[in-house]
Amino acid sequence: MRYKFRYQTTLETVLISPLIYPWIVVGLSLLLFINRLGDALGVTIQLGFGTLLLGHVMFTVPYPIRTIGASLQNYDHSLEEAARNLGATELEAYARITLPLIQPGLVSGFVFAFILSFNQYIVSLFLSGSELTTMPLVLFSLFTTARRRRSRPSRRC
């Protein structure tokens, strides 16, 4: 948001693109990509926390980008410049001026990402591996188990 560069629109489109695709397409394509990458490198990439983290980050990153970008749309750069003129370093000006002003966008982006990641059964199913169990997988398992128990006919005399 601060600097304009040649491929800014292309970069935004690539970062926002996971919003377009269904979750099953994202999960399956990531699984296939990880397998192909392992074949190309000649190693076996084990499904686990790293692959699960990659999938969740890829799926949830558009939401913080949009909320933080919206916070930066109305950001007044002269406030940071004034802090720099009063003796603050670039890091101090960022920490004391910019971060508090964009904090609502940061918090809402984190909340969106957490809620969506918590709801990602499909991506968790494809990328978690056999030893890692996530909350969406546990909840789905409990739901299907309870549903099966209710659908059984009762044996009353």
Tell me: pLDDT of 64 over 60.
yes
Token readout for 15 is 């970062």
| Higher-pLDDT residue of 40, 26 | 40
Q: How confident is the model at residue 103 (pLDDT cuts 50, 70, 90)?
A: very high
In the chain, domain spans: 8-75+104-151
* Residue 139, pLDDT above cutoff 90: no
Task: Pick the closest to residue 68 from 23, 98, 25 (CA basis).
Answer: 98
The model's pTM is 0.69
Q: What is the pLDDT at residue 17?
A: 80
91: which 2 tokens? 């890091």
Q: Among residues 20, 12, 147, 22, which one has the least CA distance to residue 66?
A: 12
The separation between CA 11 and the C-alpha centre of its own chain, rounded to angstroms, equals: 17
Residues 70, 105 contacting (CB under 8 angstroms): yes
Q: Which of 41-50, 103-112, 115-124 has the lowest mean pLDDT?
A: 115-124
Q: What is the mean pLDDT of residues 143-151?
A: 71
Crossing angle of helices 49-60 and 99-118, rounded to 10°: 120
Q: Is residue 154 pLDDT above 60, yes or no?
A: no
pLDDT of residue 120: 78
